Amino acid sequence: MSDQPQYRRILLKLSGEALMGEADYGIDPKVIGRLADEIIAVRKADVEVGVVIGGGNIFRGEGLAASGMDRVTGDHMGMLATVMNALAMADAIEKRGGYARVMSAIQIHDVAEDFIRRRAIRHIEKGRIALFAAGTGNPFFTTDSAAALRAVEIGADLLLKATKVDGVYTADPARHPDATRYDELSYDEVIQRNLKVMDTAAIALCRDHDMPLRIYDMTVPGNLMRIMRGEPVGTLVRN
Ligand code: UDP
């Protein structure tokens, strides 16, 4: 382990729920502020950063469809929710002196740039934190799949999934107190054991493109930087 970051470029996936804090809806300014501080700290340590934000704190297509809405319309609302979260994160980052750009997978020119891969890479090379909004731009996908896709597209050395648990367990630790945490797993093991790490499309994309993934607890301040220094926080999934 060293004080120098072990990664050159990362893609961080934050779920919408990560922004809610203790609330059951929306964005907690304190929580988003702390996450922005952590992202800026990593950027200052010379790591290039792309971020994919979910929208589950506002809308999910599946949930809307369950209450009677057309699924595609619900997914469009879910994607727009991720745009709102990305705008809020960009604002929090810039209020703290960082530089951020929101790039959307659906065209929404008055509020965000389009996601164009070469431009995205240019932003991150220039030290800006690129926030990739609207998931993949397609219904029936999730922001986990978008995170895997963007990680591969921008050539990240590591995909990080920030959650409220400290890694992947043999079973749900909330319901099975004897569940144990994996330090490391292969993608094939994740698929064979049907472990709920990310959706299958995201896992398959990471496996096929050799993208390592670390699942960690974002509620512990400083964890992101610990991972950058090479500390074995959470669970690592790789081929
Ligand atoms: N969504 C979509 N296509 C995508 C990504 C997201 O249709 O490529 C929609 C989908 O309805 C999803 C919602 O946006 O439920 C919010 O994303 P997600 O559920 O992945 O957010 P998270 O659980 O990470 O907060």
Q: Is the CB of 103 under 6 A from ligand 1?
A: no
> How many angstroms is it from 104 CA to the middle of ligand 1?
13
Tokens of 237: 């999934």
Where in the chain are the domains? Answer: 9-238
> In CATH, what is the architecture of 9-238?
3-Layer(aba) Sandwich (3.40)
> How many angstroms is it from 215 CA to the middle of ligand 1?
18
Q: Is the CB of 150 under 6 A from ligand 1?
A: no
Residue linked to tokens 């980052």: 93
Tell me the best of 67, 79, 131, 163 to mutate to test the pocket of ligand 1, counting ligand atoms within 8 Å of each CB and taking the most: 79
Q: Which residues of 48-82 are buried (b: 16+ CB within 10 A; e: fewer)?
A: bbbbbbbbbbbbbbeebeeeeeeeeebbbbbbbbb
User: What is the pTM for the complete model shown?
Assistant: 0.97
| The pLDDT of residue 2 | 66
> How many angstroms is it from 60 CA to the middle of ligand 1?
6
Q: How confident is the prediction along the chain (239 residues), in pLDDT tens digits per residue?
A: 568 899 999 999 999 999 998 888 999 999 999 999 999 999 999 999 999 999 999 999 999 999 999 999 999 999 999 999 999 999 999 999 999 999 999 999 999 999 999 999 999 999 999 999 999 999 999 999 999 999 999 999 999 999 988 999 998 888 999 999 999 999 999 999 999 899 999 999 999 999 999 999 999 999 999 999 999 999 999 99
| The pLDDT of residue 33 | 97
Q: Is the CB of 61 under 6 A from ligand 1?
A: yes
Torsion of CA 141, 147, 151, 152, to 10 degrees: -10
